[in-house]
Structure 1
Amino acid sequence: MTKQLDSKPTLLMLLITTRRQIFEKGNILCKAGMARDNMERLIVSPRHYEIARVEEFMKKAEKKLSSWGLFRSKYNDSVDLFDKVANCLKLVESWDRVGEVYVKLASCYLKLDSKNDAASAYDNAAHYYTKTNNTREAISCLEQAVFMRLDIGRVNGSARYYKKIAKLYEQKERNLEQATIYYEKAVDLFKSLNFTLSANQCKQKIAEFSAEVLEKYQRSTEIFEDIARHSIRDNSFQV
């Protein structure tokens, strides 16, 4: 019985001592010049820190775009700032906003008459819009990328973008009619480059959709036969 009574004061004293030590450590930190707001800053989450950087870089980029100065210089500076914004947003996985920033980057590249870079920026925007199932925006960006690449004669890139759009319609939108249209556009461009394998991969999709969904069985058969003919011919050349 006596032991139990003795243990209670001991536990109480331990708690009091621990609290006193915590307060003493806090006072030492404050005396060392670490103000309360600085202490709070130490425990700010990485997400909040990156968001603060995003706002800072965005303000600088928008200010740069609206300022007077050398035409190319201000757009080059804005490209660097928007690139930093995109990287910060990736760290906090704000995918839609990343997509928006890449669209802004594409606009800057167009001002600099760099259509190849603009196409890549639109492609990146589409990639991040897809992460949030913002399929319509992704498709719109890829279509812009197609036009950019076609305008500078990059047919292979345009064909690949058409194929990406077709996949989005197929897998995300479940719209196989639209998917067929874009697979056909990809086929035309791949054929113009004699990229038979890539063209046949798209043709196979068209044949499958023609039979399964569109009920165009004759067309499906003709496409499969055409693929077979090309495969036999290509194999005979290899031999």
Structure 2
Amino acid sequence: MITNLNTQEAENYIKDAEKLKKSWFYRNSKLLKAAELYKKAGLIYKLSKKWMEAGDAYFRAATCYNKQNPIEAITLYIDSSNCYRDYSSSDAIYALNNAVELCKENGRFRKAAKHQIAIGEIYESNLNDIHSAIAAYETAIELLNNEMDETKQLECYEKIAIFYSELEQYEKTIDIFFKISKISEKLNKSWYSTNNYILNAGLCQLYQNLRDNVLPNKLMNILNICIRFNNDFKDSDEYRFLKNLIFSVEKKDPEYFVQILQDFDKRSPFDTWRLKLLLQIKQFINMKILC
């Protein structure tokens, strides 16, 4: 167990490091020694579960390494952010931003994108700031262009599409799902189903049309849009599911709607986002607001 004496030792390390930083003699070597002292203090604070103090110590160590050992500095900025994360989201993001900039300066774009995604996760989970989360993921996609990493870009696009749906900007959601269906088709990976992304776009279009009071007999046009985008879609289970779903909406038949969902869910279980969207669609049948 870490004692108060150990914490006092950490404070002494911090004081000694500050003295070294103020000395202009042998400036570079003094900075490296100061960084080591900050790291020692950070470890003690971390083991003592003094997370803000640990974050501060690791951050100071990182700034000492910034120019002389940027790779070590990046690691310490991440350590700092991890300590801050549950206690000060703004400090956690600031530390990660420093790591991103150093990664970019040193051509480590994949790492920069990884840390940019972590920033997006903090905005999403800790701050519920969807707009900033979208911006973070968009920046990650730009960074991944340097690495031609379309697999990771696809995952980022999918997050952005879901964010836009939460903001009820369904046109943007639809455009992105169609876009990532093309990326998925190009990647040709079994775990990225092109038809699933097209289905998501179709479901969003259905929900948008219902919100806009589009006449029920016009809803089947959604299928034509999906087929025009990818002709192979018409031979898929996802197409048949969407077609039957639209038919149940046209007929205002909630029982048939539920049966369709249950049958499809047995073959391809719904994730939370899709199930929520389907239940929102079902509300239009229950409320009988269709013409």
Same fold (TM over 0.5): yes
1:127 aligned to which of 73, 79, 82: 82
SS of the residue corresponding to residue 77 of structure 1 reads helix
CA distance in 2, matches of 1:130, 1:236: 34
Change (3 A) 1:236 1:135: closer
The equivalent residue for 2:183 is 230
The alpha-carbon deviation at position 176 of structure 1 amounts to 0.5
Task: Kindly provide the amino acid, as one letter, of the partner of residue 165 in structure 1.
Answer: I
Mapped to 2, the partners of 1:139 and 1:124 lie a distance apart of 12
Over the matched positions of the two proteins, sequence identity in percent amounts to 27
* 1:47 alignment partner in structure 2: 3
Alignment of 1:1-239 (within 5 A): 46-110=2-66, 112-132=67-87, 134-213=88-167, 215-235=168-188
Scaled by the length of structure 1, the TM-score of the pair is: 0.74
**For residues 151 and 219 of structure 1, what CA distance do their matches in structure 2 show?**
32
Q: What's the offset of the Cα at 1:236?
A: 7.4
Task: State the 1:141 CA deviation.
Answer: 1.3
Bigger share in helix: 1
Cα distance in 1, alignment partners of residues 29 and 124 from structure 2: 42
Cα-to-partner distance string for 1:77-112 (whole Å, 9 max, x where unaligned):
1122111111111111000011111111122112x5
The whole-number CA distance in structure 1 between the counterparts of 2:50 and 2:137 is 31
How far apart in 2 are the matches of 1:136 and 1:129?
Answer: 9
Relative to 1, partners in 2 of residues 1:203 and 1:236: Cα closer, same or farther, differing over 3 Å?
Answer: closer
Return the offset for 1:49.
2.0
Aligned AA for 1:85? A
Q: CA deviation at 1:65?
A: 2.0
The CA distance in 1 between the partners of 2:156 and 2:12, in whole Å, is 45
Structure 1 50/163 Cα, relative in aligned 2: closer, same or farther at 3 Å?
same
The answer to whether the 8 A contact 1:115-1:148 is kept is yes
**CA 1:140 to 1:236, structure 2 compared with 1: closer, same or farther past 3 Å?**
closer
TM-score by length of 2: 0.61
Amino acid at match of 1:152: N
Q: Which has the larger radius of gyration?
A: 1
Cα 1:171–1:67, aligned 2, differ >3 Å: closer, same or farther? same
Write the distance in 1 (CA, Å) between the matches of 2:141 and 2:2. 46
Aligned-residue offset at 1:210: 1.1
How many pairs are equivalent? 190
CA distance in 2, matches of 1:172, 1:152: 29
Secondary structure at the aligned position of 2:49 is classed as coil
Unmatched 5+ stretches in structure 2: 191-291
For the aligned residue pairs, the C-alpha RMSD in angstroms reads 1.8
